[in-house]
Structure 1
Amino acid sequence: MKYVIERCCLDDVLTKYGKTRSDIEQITGINRRQISRYAKGRSTMQFETAVTIAAAIDPECDPRELYVWMTVPLSKG
């Protein structure tokens, strides 16, 4: 079994922790357009970026919260 990203939850996580995209831009220096691409699912964050954004949101935020994950079986062969 492996995990694959189903969709980005960035905006939901920001709301949960009381932050905005602008807050993340100011804290991380990541361009607002790029943050928007992540939130809309047009681009997938590298792991380092997800960790950076999660830490900017809240020290208790787990980077895995930024996406909805689904499991798929490994193909045999």
Structure 2
Amino acid sequence: MAYTNQDLINIRELITAGEGKAQVDGKLIEYRNLDDLLRIEKLIIASLAAQATPAKKRRSSFLGQHIRTQLNRGLD
């Protein structure tokens, strides 16, 4: 599930208010305790950070192998 900034705001409001229940998509969700809410907050923060980090491009080593092969053949 991809979390949004609004999810983070909502969970922080629950933590601040000391609420243990929330209505999400028409469903009543009940959290056991503050530790649950804090754990979910950390999960949302990590998810948002991962979404914001661009994926690294994989560099192919094919070109490097091709050049080394050509150089090795030239020295024989």
**TM-score, normalized by length of structure 2?**
0.30
Higher-strand-fraction structure: 1
- Of structures 1 and 2, the one scoring higher in RCO (CA 8 A, sep 6+) is 1
Question: In terms of Rg, which structure is larger?
Answer: 2
**TM-score, normalized by length of structure 1?**
0.30
Higher-helix-fraction structure: 2
